[in-house]
Amino acid sequence: MNPSPNSPISAATSPLAGPAPTVSSVSPSSGSTAGGTGVTITGTGFTGATAVRFGATAASGCTVNSDTRITAVAPAGTGAVQVTVTTPGGTSAQFVVYGYATVPAPTLTSVSPTSGPVAGGNTVTLTGSGLTNATAVRFGGTAATSFTVVSDIHITAVAPAGTGTVQITVATRGGAGDGISYAYAALPVASGVSPDQGPTSGGNTVALTGTGFTGATAVLFGATAALSFTVVSATQITAVAPPGSAGPASVNVTAPAGISAAGPSYFYVNAPVLSGVSPSSGPLAGGNTATLTGSHLIEATAVRFGATSAASFTAVSDTRLTAQAPPGSAGSTRITVTTAGGTSNPIPYGYLVAPTLSAVSPTQGSLAGGDSATLTGTNLTQTTAVLFGAVRAAFTVVSDTHIVATAPSGTAGPVGVSVVTPGGTSPAVAYARVAPPTI
């Protein structure tokens, strides 16, 4: 039975021999004296071919692709030899020459990157010499998915899947040179980030934990690269967070083996904003409760009156926070709130000296009340109450040193008059209620 196109050559012959084959070309027309070069032979009458010879030596790996094309692997040899094809019709007679030459084997000096994922698919660049006529690139025993000869000293190749450390080799007509090491590595894994939140402005430093960080080339917060990063070890990286939009962002690490997947979430937090405080002042001794209003207050980590932390604070909601004022010095200070998103704008708060009373005039009034009394003292401007004993009186602040109050009714006898301001309560001065004379 005659071999059909696209089948290996066999020694079978046909009783119906046709005309002898002709050979018109061989490509490439030369190769290494060591043999092993793949060649394509073109001509006519190749169907049923039983042998391909380079001089007197049979080629190996011969395949009849069609009646006009055969592929074969050149055997070892020297000098210039005639390439012939034999079929049942005879042996070709055309003088088609194939030249043997001493072609140096290719050399490889470097590969970049030096490692990649076990799944392959990444592109590596090989550097060396004698690479122009490369016919194959292999990672260990596995052919590259594809390769491109860039120049005589550079080849780019797409790595196949693999494991462990393998030798990359390049085959040319001069043979396959010494290999260069390439490591298959597992993808990096980012498992933790601390702290796990920060300001939308970025700039804070976080610590990433995981595996496979050696040789990391990037740290990504979402799609944005970290401002900078340092590989501390194969399991830890420190990175400076870039700016981002409020909300979660997945943190991932890119290494020679590839990029980690499903990294830990890092939350971008808006900076807090303060719009008001009530009351806006308090005593030097502190201890009073101030209610702060604004936005993004729910995750407050600190409240400060100037440089002093509040005695305590409670985030009631994202827009409301209560804080116990610490002791302070007379005058104005500024309140700020800090969260993971940063520190708020400052708002003013006043520390007030407690009021004093030195006199009340007149010093007595009727049991029925309604008498006008002038109070003299200091720090009276922000008076919020005038007390005759425990009873509140109507009053008018005349100046920081004078108040006019209307005495309330009461029982006969002395009563202490005091003034209340955000700075505290004054010591009391005596005022007497006197019953009217009887007739």
pLDDT in tens, 315-362: 999 999 999 999 999 999 999 999 999 999 999 999 999 999 999 999
- For domain 356-434, give its CATH number from 1.25.40.10, 1.10.10.10, 2.60.40.10, 2.40.30.10: 2.60.40.10
- Which pLDDT score, from 0 to 100, does residue 16 have? 57
Architecture in CATH of 194-209+220-269: Sandwich (2.60)
Identify the pLDDT of residue 7.
54
Residue 292, pLDDT above cutoff 90: yes
What would the mean pLDDT of 31-41 be, rounded to a whole number?
A: 86
CATH of domain 107-185: 2.60.40.10
For every residue of 19-72, which 3-state class applies, written as one string? CCCEEEEEECCEEECCCCCEEEEEEECCCCCCEEEECCEECEEEEEEECCEEEE
Helices (H) and strands (E) in the chain, counts: 0, 50
Average pLDDT score over residue span 111-139: 91
pLDDT in tens, 206-221: 999 999 998 899 999 9
- Residue spans in the chain of domains classed CATH 2.60.40.10: 7-101, 107-185, 194-209+220-269, 273-352, 356-434
The pLDDT of residue 176 is: 78
Q: What pLDDT is recorded for position 8?
A: 61
DSSP state of 18: -
Residue 307 has pLDDT above 50, yes or no: yes
Quick one: how far is CA 251 from the chain centroid? 4
pLDDT band at 1 (very low <50, low <70, confident <90, very high): very low
The pLDDT of residue 15 is 46
What is the 8-class DSSP label of residue 149? E
What average pLDDT does the segment 369-382 reach?
Answer: 96
Mean pLDDT of 269-296: 96
For all residues of the chain together, what is the average pLDDT? 92
Query: Which residues, in sequence order, are CB contacts of 41 under 8 Å at separation 6+?
Result: 23, 25, 26, 52, 69, 70, 71, 72, 83, 85
Across residues 391-407, what is the average pLDDT? Answer: 98
Confidence (pLDDT) at 257: 81
Strands 265-269 and 197-199: parallel
Cis peptide before 327 (omega within 30 of 0): no
At residue 122, the 3 state secondary structure works out as: coil
pLDDT above 90 for 40: yes
Rounded average pLDDT over 145-165: 95
Question: Nearest-CA neighbor of 407 among 429, 380, 379, 382?
Answer: 429
The pLDDT of 123-134, averaged and rounded, is 93
Band the pLDDT of 178: cuts 50, 70, 90: confident
Q: Tell me what pLDDT residue 37 has.
A: 83
Domain boundaries 273-352, CATH class: mainly beta
pLDDT above 90 covers a percentage of the chain that reads 80
Per-residue confidence band for 13, with pLDDT thresholds at 50, 70 and 90: very low
369 contacts 407 by C-beta, under 8 angstroms: yes
Ranges 9-13, 30-34, 170-174, 427-431, most confident? 427-431
Whether 226 has a pLDDT exceeding 90, the answer reads yes
Q: Are the C-beta atoms of 126 and 157 separated by less than 8 Å?
A: yes
Taking the domain 7-101, which CATH number applies? Answer: 2.60.40.10
Question: Given a cut of 80, is residue 101 above it in pLDDT?
Answer: no
